[in-house]
Amino acid sequence: MKISLTQHMPNKIIISLCCLFLLGCSESGSNAQSSSAPSPPILASEAKPLPAELEEGEATFNTFCSRCHGPQGRGTNNGPPLVHKIYEPNHHADMAFQQAAARGVRAHHWKFGNMPKIEGVKPEDVTKIIGYIRWLQRQAGIF
Ligand code: HEC
């Protein structure tokens, strides 16, 4: 349903609606299902080599995101794994990644605290990061 909405409405409105919707959803959804005991991260298989076109995404991720989200998005003591089913595309669309980098994230799924806005990362960098994370998620069988 989110997918068809995004195809038929003007971008700006969609983006803000989507965000509100995602936030609302994730809060009510997680309370019902998993907030007290988040499921363990699903790790990406290391067997398959990273496609060359995603290397830049990996490097950019390592520069801006891995200090909290961990090598290969596995999470650290400072932030959650992004290779996790709550961050699959239907629950956290690509726009959620752009918003997270541009504005930061108010803590709502985890107990790591807020994510700060990330200085110096451009939207096109985040697009590359998303490509890399989606690939890791697919390797882990998340979608
Ligand atoms: C200083 C630590 C830190 C850094 C650096 C960081 N994050 Fe986060 N990020 C977090 C924390 C903590 C959360 C979890 C907030 C919560 O409780 O839901 C989070 C959540 C997210 C989410 C989920 C957003 C949502 O709507 O729930 C995305 C997507 C994300 N980060 C992407 C990124 C990307 C992309 C980068 C690099 C450009 C990055 N993060 C860098 C700490 C960080």
For the stretch 101-115, what's the b/e string if a residue is b when 16 or more beta carbons lie within 10 angstroms of its beta carbon? Answer: beeebeeebbebeeb
Model pLDDT, residue 34: 42
Which comes out higher in pLDDT, residue 93 or 15?
A: 93
Which one of 15, 58, 69, 83 would you pick to mutate in the ligand 1 pocket, going by the greatest count of ligand atoms within 8 A of its CB?
Answer: 69
Residue 15 — pLDDT band, cuts 50, 70, 90? very low
Model pLDDT, residue 52: 97
Whether 101 is in the pocket of ligand 1, judged by its Cβ within 6 Å, is yes
Q: Tens digit of pLDDT for each residue in 84-130?
A: 999 999 999 999 999 999 999 999 999 999 999 999 999 999 999 99
Q: Ligand 1: which residue has its CA nearest to atom 14?
A: 107
The C-alpha atoms of residue 84 and residue 87 are separated, in whole angstroms, by 6
Q: Tens digit of pLDDT for each residue in 62-73?
A: 999 999 999 999
Residue 100 CA to ligand 1 centre (angstroms) = 6
